[in-house]
């Protein structure tokens, strides 16, 4: 039986309601709690495969062309162990080693995530024919891209902007394989990204008023990705609390029942 999956742009509440009322789901999972758990799992698995976007001021520079190399830009698209505020919603830390095992087989370079245009460089398993090299190291994800400034006006503009330091930010689209939430009961919880599932692309971006706590420094996709990640984590925490409360209530009931039985036996 094919399980319901979230539709594009569908909110969690709407999907869970649709999933719970699905005839095939009702037949396969008549128990509401079990059906809800399956629907929740479907929502989470779909969300984890959707690309999210991250932005920070990381090292980005243009190298002067030489006889052995063309027009190169290089820097770090991902940096480990830096705690940053994602708007006023939560803090985020990419843990060291989060790229271990991540899918980096085909990663293009764009400007501002504009994937409708031709990539300005591309890494395909870091082959010799690739125009971009990705190197995970102890600091994060280093990239080195060779731009075709002679035949591509956008590549020329990018190289010039980086060289003049008009553009000095990097961003990347990703999906998460493993994450951990801390302090979900606080106003600003913390998300630790333990393992990435896939890096879809990296982009050179600009952010003239960027501050770590300025939500405008994040892409609009945040509404449908990072916010949902926080909502899902808080929902899981609430479920855990409810389960714990129910377990405590059951335990208390069993204790009272034993006391009642003991009283009856003592009178007998």
Q: Is the pLDDT of residue 95 over 90?
A: yes
Neighbour order of strands in the sheet with 71-79: 60-63, 71-79, 140-147, 132-136
The mean pLDDT value for 217-245 works out to 63
CB 194 within 8 A of CB 98: yes
pLDDT by residue (tens digit) across 4-50? Answer: 888 766 778 888 889 899 988 888 888 888 888 888 877 776 655 55
More confident residue, 142 or 34: 142
Of 69-73, 88-92, 105-109, the range with the lowest mean pLDDT is 88-92
The mean pLDDT value for 89-117 works out to 92
Nearest residue to 96 via CA among 125, 51, 58, 136? 136
Does an H or E element contain 37, and which?
helix 32-49
pTM strictly above 0.75: no
Residue 84 pairs in a beta bridge with 92
Nearest residue to 76 via CA among 175, 204, 181, 163? 204
**3-state percent breakdown (helix, strand, coil) of the chain, nearest 5:** 35, 30, 35
Taking residue 16's Cβ as centre, other Cβ atoms within 10 Å add up to 20
Nearest residue to 13 via CA among 39, 52, 46? 39
Q: Is the pLDDT of residue 263 over 70?
A: no
Average pLDDT, the chain: 79
More confident residue, 115 or 69: 115
Q: Exposed, middle or buried by CB within 10 Å (0-12, 13-18, 19+), for 183?
A: exposed
**Distance of alpha carbon 249 from alpha carbon 219, whole angstroms:** 45
**Distance of alpha carbon 36 from alpha carbon 13, whole angstroms:** 12
Residue spans per domain, the chain: 1-49, 52-220
């Amino acid at each position: 039986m094919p399980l319901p999956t979230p539709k594009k742009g569908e909110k969690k509440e709407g999907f869970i309601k649709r999933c719970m009322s699905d005839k095939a789901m009702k037949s396969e999972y008549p128990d509401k709690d079990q059906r809800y758990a399956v629907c929740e799992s479907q929502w989470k698995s779909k969300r984890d495969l959707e690309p999210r976007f991250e932005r920070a001021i990381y090292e980005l520079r243009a190298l002067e062309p030489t006889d052995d190399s063309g027009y190169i830009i290089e820097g770090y698209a991902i940096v480990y162990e830096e705690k940053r505020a994602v708007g006023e919603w939560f803090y985020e830390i990419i843990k060291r080693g989060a790229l271990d095992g991540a899918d980096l087989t085909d990663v293009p370079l764009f400007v501002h995530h504009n994937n409708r245009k031709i990539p300005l460089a591309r890494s395909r398993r870091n082959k010799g024919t690739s125009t971009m090299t990705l190197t995970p190291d102890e600091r994060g994800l280093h990239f080195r891209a060779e731009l075709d400034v002679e035949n591509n006006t956008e590549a020329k503009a990018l190289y010039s902007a980086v060289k003049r330091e008009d553009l000095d930010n990097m961003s990347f689209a990703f999906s998460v394989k493993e994450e951990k939430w801390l302090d979900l009961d606080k106003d600003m919880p913390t998300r630790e990204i333990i393992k990435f599932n896939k890096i879809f692309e990296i982009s050179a971006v600009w952010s003239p008023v960027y501050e770590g706590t300025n939500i405008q420094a994040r892409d609009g996709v945040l509404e449908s990705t990072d916010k949902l990640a926080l909502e899902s984590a808080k929902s899981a925490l609430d479920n855990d609390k409810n389960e714990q409360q129910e377990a405590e209530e059951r335990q208390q009931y069993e204790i009272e029942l034993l006391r009642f039985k003991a009283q009856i036996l003592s009178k007998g």
